[in-house]
């Protein structure tokens, strides 16, 4: 009985081995060593019908340039049946090294069957034999990807462009193409430009003018850092028709369609650093050619009405990569978060258009308010230096509304009451005392006695020294004029100086001082005439236009500042400015 069970078990094991030996799933490659620019054919075949769910390996370090194609081979020879189902791929390596292609799998009668693994050795690119009849050689010689750069030495922030072109010789036809790997622009801000409809044009490649070309891709690049930056190649796959040199019955050329891959050369960009010499403090990275403006849609309005102040930069350059300057408004004006707008177009010339911030301003109190000038700085690539544009101040007059309230300090000062003392109150505690010595010293032979005795002898050399200095000062005509002008300015500005810290009295005194100065110098009453008439009178006296504009500007500031908040620092600056202008006028009049 035991012998019988043993025979049965042995028969079953032998049957299983025979069944497994009949299934053969193998991997075969056309070559196990190739160059980086070559391709190989890999074939997975199984010798049994009924297989299903074929799964290829992942092909890490390779890319598929053809396939999969499927074929079946079945034959009968001397009564013996043979069968083979094959899956074929054309692959090309991505890098140099030794790589293993993993096994493929299929399902056969509910079981998963694996093929063998294959090891491939990839070397550097090899020179393809110059065989005109070799389709790969013909494609290599007649198809070229080119990356054209507008400027290889830009500044940081300066826009350049790259154009990718496909050049094809006249005897080769391209049926289809696809991008297998897009270029990387590390270190650049980039934006693609729409190519539009593909147009075939005639062009020259390496001196050969028999080529045709098309533009595949265009992009704007703006470098964000200095140094050497690289633009990686664009890689593409093509279906091309290569002439075989033979013709059909009617004389038409016979072509052979193949798959071909090409890549543009890697390009290097050497980015220059922006110079530190002359760099403005308010420079925020703008590079190009720009105009700058700050305008208000209305300058006269009522309380709680709105005005729009638009800060705008227009021109060509890196418009999307810097901040627009911000306005600084008095605290009595309520300013809302600006509305940012960009109207920028992208072309080969760079980013062109304008960006703007629009502020909504709502006044609450009646008065006149000044929004100071705003400056914008940029680096001009054309002039290779920095430029600064300064806007003009904006004045807003509120004709109706609540009066501007006094400051907290003025309110406290106004509410102070003098303290009256009477006999029933406690007096203040004395903080100091005066004592006199009991014993007195005689005047004779005292220190004061000897000082008064020798004082006449000391006065003689001092008098001689002072006389020489007075003579030198009298001879200094130019210096005397400057000192006289300075004394005159101090004389007329003395009252304004006393009022420093009190806003309204200070500006009233300062304005009167300016008019009194002109009255004394020109012998006219200027407080009742217009600023235009004052300008005409000063021009008749041959005063420089710059000095006249500065004088009128101070008068305007005195007018507006009385209704706007002002700090002690601003009043001190205005005082010094008025003093300098009076000195300049005294020299001219």
pLDDT above 50 for 410: no
Q: Is residue 159 part of a domain?
A: yes
Least confident of 151-155, 242-246, 316-320, 483-487: 483-487
Co-location of 66 and 38 in the same domain: yes
pLDDT, tens digit, 9 for 90 and up, residues 57-80: 888 888 887 778 777 777 676 667
Co-location of 246 and 321 in the same domain: no
* Structural domain for 356, as ranges: 288-398
565/225: higher pLDDT = 225
Span between the terminal Cα atoms of the chain, in Å: 144
Co-location of 78 and 157 in the same domain: no
CA nearest 136: which of 92, 200, 180, 181?
Answer: 92
Co-location of 232 and 294 in the same domain: no
The pLDDT-based confidence of 268 (bands split at 50, 70, 90) is very high
Q: pLDDT at position 223, please?
A: 93
Q: Assess contact for 93 and 62: CB atoms under 8 A.
A: yes
pLDDT above 90 for 492: no
Q: Is residue 411 part of a domain?
A: no
Q: Is residue 439 part of a domain?
A: no
How many domains does one find in the chain? 4
Q: Report DSSP letters for 130-145, one per residue.
A: --TT-HHHHHHHHEEE
The pLDDT-based confidence of 95 (bands split at 50, 70, 90) is confident
Q: pLDDT at position 413, please?
A: 42
Co-location of 227 and 312 in the same domain: no
Tally of CA atoms within 13 A in the half-sphere of 170 that contains its CB: 8
Mean pLDDT of 167-196: 87
Mean pLDDT of 189-217: 88
Q: pLDDT at position 131, please?
A: 62
20/51: higher pLDDT = 51
Q: Assess contact for 137 and 260: CB atoms under 8 A.
A: no
Co-location of 115 and 187 in the same domain: no
pLDDT above 80 for 195: yes
239/12: higher pLDDT = 239
Q: In Å, what is the CA distance from 275 to each residue of 123, 222, 500? A: 46, 17, 43
CATH number for position 344: 2.60.40.740
The pLDDT-based confidence of 476 (bands split at 50, 70, 90) is low
Q: Is residue 185 part of a domain?
A: yes
Of the residues 208, 243, 271, the one at which a domain ends:
271
CATH number for position 36: 2.60.40.1510
Co-location of 117 and 140 in the same domain: no
Q: pLDDT at position 13, please?
A: 47
pLDDT above 90 for 461: no
Co-location of 248 and 352 in the same domain: no
Q: Is residue 412 part of a domain?
A: no
> How many CB atoms are located within 10 Å of the residue 318 CB?
23
Q: pLDDT at position 16, please?
A: 43
Apex 519 CA angle, 518 and 520, nearest 5? 90
Q: pLDDT at position 291, please?
A: 94
Co-location of 265 and 144 in the same domain: yes
pLDDT above 60 for 19: no
Of the residues 94, 123, 152, the one at which a domain ends:
123
233, two tokens: 């190649």
Host H or E run for residue 236: strand 235-247
Angle of helix 545-561 relative to helix 503-522, nearest 10 degrees?
150
Co-location of 490 and 383 in the same domain: no
Co-location of 111 and 143 in the same domain: no
CATH number for position 492: 1.20.120
pLDDT above 70 for 128: no
Q: Is residue 419 part of a domain?
A: no
Q: Whole-structure pTM over 0.85, yes or no? A: no
Q: Is residue 559 part of a domain?
A: yes
Q: In Å, what is the CA distance from 274 to each residue of 158, 219, 283, 486? A: 10, 23, 11, 45
Q: pLDDT at position 411, please?
A: 42
Q: pLDDT at position 295, please?
A: 94
Question: Of the segments 362-371, 430-439, 569-578, which one has the largest average pLDDT value?
Answer: 362-371
Q: Is residue 420 part of a domain?
A: no
pLDDT, tens digit, 9 for 90 and up, residues 335-391: 999 999 999 988 777 789 999 999 999 988 888 889 999 999 999 999 999 999 999
Q: pLDDT at position 443, please?
A: 65
CA nearest 57: which of 98, 96, 114?
Answer: 114
Mean pLDDT of 392-397: 91
Of the residues 365, 398, 431, the one at which a domain ends:
398
Q: pLDDT at position 17, please?
A: 44
Apex 459 CA angle, 454 and 464, nearest 5? 145
List, in order, residues 6 or more apart from 177 with CB less than 8 Å away: 166, 236, 237, 238, 239
Q: pLDDT at position 484, please?
A: 59
CATH number for position 140: 2.60.40
What percent of the chain lies above the pLDDT cut of 70?
80
Co-location of 115 and 241 in the same domain: no
The pLDDT-based confidence of 269 (bands split at 50, 70, 90) is very high
pLDDT, tens digit, 9 for 90 and up, residues 285-335: 999 999 999 999 999 988 888 999 999 999 999 998 999 999 998 888 889
Mean pLDDT (the chain) is: 80
Q: Assess contact for 279 and 386: CB atoms under 8 A.
A: yes
């Amino acid at each position: 009985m035991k012998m019988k069970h043993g025979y049965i078990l042995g028969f079953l094991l032998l049957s299983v081995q025979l069944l497994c030996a009949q299934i053969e799933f193998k991997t075969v490659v056309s070559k196990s060593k190739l160059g980086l620019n070559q391709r190989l054919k890999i074939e997975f075949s199984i010798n049994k019908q009924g297989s299903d769910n074929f799964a290829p390996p992942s092909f890490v370090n390779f890319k598929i340039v053809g396939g999969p194609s499927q074929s079946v081979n079945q034959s009968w020879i001397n009564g013996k049946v043979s069968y083979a189902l094959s899956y074929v791929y054309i692959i090309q390596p991505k890098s140099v090294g030794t790589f293993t292609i993993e096994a493929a799998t299929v399902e056969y009668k509910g079981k998963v069957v694996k093929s063998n693994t294959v090891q491939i050795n990839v070397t550097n690119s090899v020179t393809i034999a110059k065989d005109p009849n070799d389709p790969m050689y013909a494609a290599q010689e007649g198809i070229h990807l080119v990356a054209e750069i507008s400027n290889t030495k830009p500044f940081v922030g300066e826009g350049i462009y790259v154009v990718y072109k496909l050049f094809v010789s006249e005897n080769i036809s391209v049926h289809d193409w696809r991008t297998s790997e897009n270029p990387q622009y590390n270190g650049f801000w980039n934006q693609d430009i729409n190519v539009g409809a593909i147009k075939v044009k005639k062009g020259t490649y390496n001196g050969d003018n028999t080529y045709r070309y098309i533009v595949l891709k265009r992009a704007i690049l703006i470098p964000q850092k200095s140094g050497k930056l690289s633009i990686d190649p664009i890689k593409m796959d093509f279906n091309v028709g290569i002439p075989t040199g033979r013709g059909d019955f009617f004389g038409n050329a016979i072509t052979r369609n193949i798959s071909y891959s090409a890549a543009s050369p890697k390009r290097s960009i050497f980015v220059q650093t922006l110079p530190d010499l002359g760099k403005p403090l308010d420079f925020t990275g703008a590079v190009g050619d720009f105009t700058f403006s700050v305008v208000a849609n209305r300058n006269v309005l009522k309380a709680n009405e709105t005005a729009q102040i638009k800060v705008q930069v227009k021109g060509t350059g890196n418009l999307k990569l810097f901040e627009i300057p911000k306005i600084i408004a008095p605290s009595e004006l309520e300013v809302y978060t600006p509305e940012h707008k960009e109207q920028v177009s992208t072309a080969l010339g760079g980013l062109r258009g304008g960006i703007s911030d629009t502020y909504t301003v709502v006044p609450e109190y009646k008065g006149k308010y000044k929004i100071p000038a705003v400056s914008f700085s940029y680096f001009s690539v054309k002039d290779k230096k920095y430029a600064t544009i300064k806007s003009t101040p904006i004045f807003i007059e509120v004709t109706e509304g609540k009066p501007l309230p006094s400051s907290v300090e003025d309110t406290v000062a106004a509410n102070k009451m003098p303290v009256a003392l009477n006999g029933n109150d406690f007096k203040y505690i004395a903080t100091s005392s005066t004592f006199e010595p009991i014993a007195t010293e005689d005047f004779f032979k005292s220190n004061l006695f000897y000082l008064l005795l020798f004082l006449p002898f000391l006065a003689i050399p001092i008098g001689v020294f002072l006389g020489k200095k007075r003579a030198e000062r009298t001879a200094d005509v130019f210096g005397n004029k400057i000192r006289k002008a300075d004394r005159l300015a101090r004389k007329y500005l003395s009252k304004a100086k006393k009022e420093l810290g009190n806003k309204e009295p200070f500006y009233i005194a300062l304005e009167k001082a300016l008019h009194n100065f002109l009255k004394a110098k020109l012998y006219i009453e200027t407080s009742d005439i217009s600023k235009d008439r004052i300008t005409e009178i000063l021009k008749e006296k041959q005063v420089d236009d710059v000095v006249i504009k500065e004088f009128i500007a101070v008068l305007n500031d005195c007018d507006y500042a009385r209704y706007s908040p002002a700090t002690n620092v601003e009043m001190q600056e205005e005082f010094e400015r008025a003093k300098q202008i009076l000195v300049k006028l005294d020299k001219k009049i």
